Amino acid sequence: MAGAEYPYELQPNLSPGSRLVETGENGWRLEIPAGDEKQYRLAQLDDYGSRPRADFPWKAPPLHMSLRARVSAQQIPGTWGFGLWNDPFSMAVLSGAERLRLPVLPNTAWFFFASPPNYLSLRDDLPAQGFLAATFRSPRWPAPLLALGAPALPLLLFPPAARLARRIGRRIVRQNSAALQVDPTRWHEYSLQWLADRVRFAVDGREVLEAEHSPQGPLGFVLWIDNQYAAFTPQGRLRFGTVPSPQPAWLEVTGLKLERG
C-alpha cells in the first residue's frame, strides 16, 4: 500500500492476513481471511484513524454520501458496512493501526450488516441484526465524565441490572433503523443525506428510511468488514467478542462520493 493515494484522506486499517485491493477510481475490495474465533480480522478504510475524536473531518451537516457496493455472501459472520460515526468504542485499535480513544456515546448514520449473535438495538421494537439503515444520536458527554461510571460496569453482568441499563440507555441514546430487503451480493447504489434534523437513506434511488434522530458531529467516514460481534439483548445479556470465519469474505465498493451541502 506504500505510495497509494485515497480521496478524503482515507487510510487503510488492516489486521494480519487482511487485504485492501484498489479496483479503480474511488473503488476498493476489502478482504478478510478465513479463521477461527481466536483472532480479530479487520479490513477497513477511514478518514479519522490518526485523529483525536474532536478533529474528525465531518463537523456538521449537510453531507451527502453515495457509493455502489456488493459483498461475497448474504450471511458473513461478523459485521460490515459504510457510513458516518464517531468511533465510540475504538474497537479498530485491536488491529494495531489506530489510536486509542476513550469511549463516548454513539453518534452514527450508516448502512450496517450484523450477523448473529450481534444484537445492536436498545429498543425492542427496532431490528437489531441483519442488513440495516440506522442512526444513533447521543449527547456529547465528555469521555472522562463517562469514565466515572466504569466501576458500575460489573453490574451489567446481572440481567436485572442490565435490563434497567437498557431502559435508561434508550432514553439517552436515540435511534432509528430499518431492515433492508435487498440482496447485498449484487451491486446496489447506496446513499445517505445527513441533515441537521434527519437522515435520509436510499437504495437504488428509492428511499428506505427517513430517520428523525440525526447524529451529532464531528463524525468520520468508515468502510469496513470484520468478524466481531456485540450484543445487549432484551433479556439483559451483554456479550461481545469475535466469531469464526469459515470462508474468506470481502466487501467491494466503487464510485464513493462524499459531498458537502
Q: What is the pLDDT of residue 99?
A: 62
Mean pLDDT of the chain: 91
Cell 451483554 locates to 238
Sites in the chain below the pLDDT cut of 70? 1-8, 91-99, 145, 147-150, 152
Domain residue spans in the chain?
Answer: 7-260
* pLDDT score for 4: 46
Percent of the chain with pLDDT over 90: 76
Q: Considering the domain delimited by 7-260, tell me its CATH architecture.
A: Sandwich (2.60)
DSSP-derived pairing of the beta strands 79-85 and 63-71: unpaired
State the pLDDT at residue 8: 64
Query: b/e per residue, 153-173, with b = 16+ CB within 10 A?
Result: eeebeeeeebbebbeebeeeb
- Tell me the CA end-to-end span of the chain in Å, nearest whole number: 32
Question: What is the reported pLDDT for 7?
Answer: 59
